[in-house]
Amino acid sequence: MLNLKLNNLNAAMLLGATMLFSACGGNSENAEGGSSLSGSIQIDGSSTVYPITEAVAEEFRAEAPDVKVTVGVSGTGGGMKKFTRGDIDIVDASRQMKPSEDSLAQANGITYVELSVAYDGLTVVVHPENDWVKDITVAELKKIWEPAAQGTIKKWNQIRPEWPDKELHLYGPGVESGTYDYFTEAVVGESHSSRGDYTASEDDNVLVQGVSTDPYALGFFGFAYFEENQSKLKAVPVDDMDDSNGKGAILPSLETVKDGSYAPLSRPLYIYVNSKATARPEVITFINFYLDNAGELSQEVGYIPLPDELYKEQKQKFEQFAKGAQK
């Protein structure tokens, strides 16, 4: 299905390029000419966003074979350091740029544009044989994860009296990950602040392994890791006590993350583009290609696409920015 579409797209691009060469004109967005592009585009940053960018870069190979797109995985923080020094063209980010990073960019004379490319739904999971947890509220999650819980919240019945008098075992991403930052911000209210006595791993597959073998476990990680391991895990519906964005407790799914009702645990993923890079036609074409295909490709690698109109908005935002940067 995707292949078919991409082939059509390629055919269209080829056609566009042919027309361009023969007629020396044309007003398509890729007026610079698809396959005649060359140069290199350097991308680095979040390992969470990496699969999407890798997929886009892979498809872009067919679109413009002479453009060398490289992608690194230094993490959002490491990528931002390179981006704000002007070492790379695009940074993958699983969180927004911090004010400290922004001032670094300004000090180095770098202007940029932020584009959202997909959503990730942080999923709260328990062991599949856990039959007592039917849903959980954000307030309860906060009670479990806030720093004050360390050493005091140790049993399931401390959260809800009807839950069993059994030990509660917690699993979560390590404190260096963007996932941890986002979860603590959304649940505890302060980024990077939580209890320390939980099983932490930078490798989400380790967390999957942990929760799926421990009947008294509770953990959280990105939606893709739940989706791939549905038989071994059970997702817990989350209630944010705000009926304006969906009533009651809501399970993360393609629909609920996309329409915003799975709040507050859906997070957008970003790319940032350096304005200097937008002077190069291959970068313009790549970003437009990215936003055109991010929907389908992000879903293929386990993330959730933005609504179509948001992709359009991002494209307009980028077009405006690129125009402004040329002046």
What amino acid is encoded at 181 in this protein? D
Q: What one-letter code names the amino acid at 278?
A: T
Stretch in the footprint of other proteins (CB under 8 A) among 23-31, 112-120, 279-287, 293-301: 293-301
| Cα torsion angle, 319, 320, 322, 326, sign | positive
Contacting other proteins (CB under 8 A), which of 30, 47, 84, 184?
47
The region of 40-48, 120-128, 139-147, 189-197 touching other proteins under the rule CB under 8 A is 40-48
What is the phi/psi pair of residue 83, to 5°?
-65, -45
**Residues 6 or more apart from 189 whose CB is under 8 A from it?**
142
Kindly state the helix (H) or strand (E) to which residue 3 belongs, with its residue range. helix 2-23
| Binding residue for other proteins, selected from 44, 63, 146, 282, defined by CB under 8 A | 44
Pairing of strands 123-126, 217-221: antiparallel
Closest CB to other proteins among residues 41, 170: 41
Kindly state whether residue 63 participates in binding other proteins, applying the rule CB under 8 A: no
Query: Is the previous residue joined to 252 through a cis bond, with omega within 30 degrees of 0?
Result: no
Question: Interface with other proteins includes 178 (CB under 8 A)?
Answer: no
Query: Using the rule CB under 8 A, which residue among 222, 268, 281, 305 binds other proteins?
Result: 222
Closer residue to other proteins, CB minimum distance, 149 or 224: 224
Per CB under 8 A, the list member of 61, 155, 192, 312 interacting with other proteins is 61
Instruction: Determine, following the binding rule CB under 8 A, whether residue 57 of this chain makes contact with other proteins.
Output: yes
Phi and psi of 198, rounded to 5°? -135, 165
Identify residues 227-256 at the interface with other proteins (CB under 8 A).
Answer: 227-229
Sole residue written with tokens 């309860």: 140
Give me the residues paired with residue 269 across strands.
118
Q: Please pick, from the candidates 70, 103, 213, 320, the single residue that binds other proteins as defined by CB under 8 A.
A: 70
Tell me how far apart the alpha carbons of residues 3 and 284 are, in angstroms, rounded to a whole number. Answer: 23
Gap between the Cα atoms of 285 and 278, Å rounded: 9
Strand pairing report for 169-173 and 217-221: parallel
Retrieve residue 289's tokens.
């290609």
* Crossing angle of helices 99-107 and 75-85, rounded to 10°: 20
- Considering only 17, 37, 49, 53, the residue that binds other proteins (CB under 8 A) is 53
Please spell the DSSP secondary structure of 196-257, one letter per residue.
S-SEEES-HHHHHHHHHT-TTEEEEE-HHHHHTTTTT-EE--EE-S-GGGSSS-B---HHHH
Candidates 197, 203, 242, 255; binder of other proteins (CB under 8 A) is 203
Q: 86-125: which residues touch other proteins (CB under 8 A)?
A: 87
Q: Does 55 engage in binding with other proteins (CB under 8 A)?
A: yes
> With respect to other proteins, which residue has the nearer C-beta, 149 or 208?
208
Q: Does 302 bind other proteins (CB under 8 A)?
A: yes
Q: Which helix (H) or strand (E) holds 91?
A: strand 90-93
Task: Tell me if 68 contacts other proteins by CB under 8 A.
Answer: yes
Question: Exactly one of 6, 263, 301, 325 binds other proteins (CB under 8 A); which one?
Answer: 301
Q: Is 69 a residue that touches other proteins (CB under 8 A)?
A: yes
| From 181, 204, 239, 282, residue interacting with other proteins (rule: CB under 8 A) | 204
Q: How far is the CB of 43 from other proteins (least distance, A)?
A: 8
Find the shortest distance in angstroms from Cβ 72 to other proteins.
4
**What residues make contact with other proteins under the rule CB under 8 A?**
42, 44, 47, 50-51, 53-55, 57-58, 61, 68-74, 82, 87, 202-205, 222, 224-225, 227-229, 297, 300-302
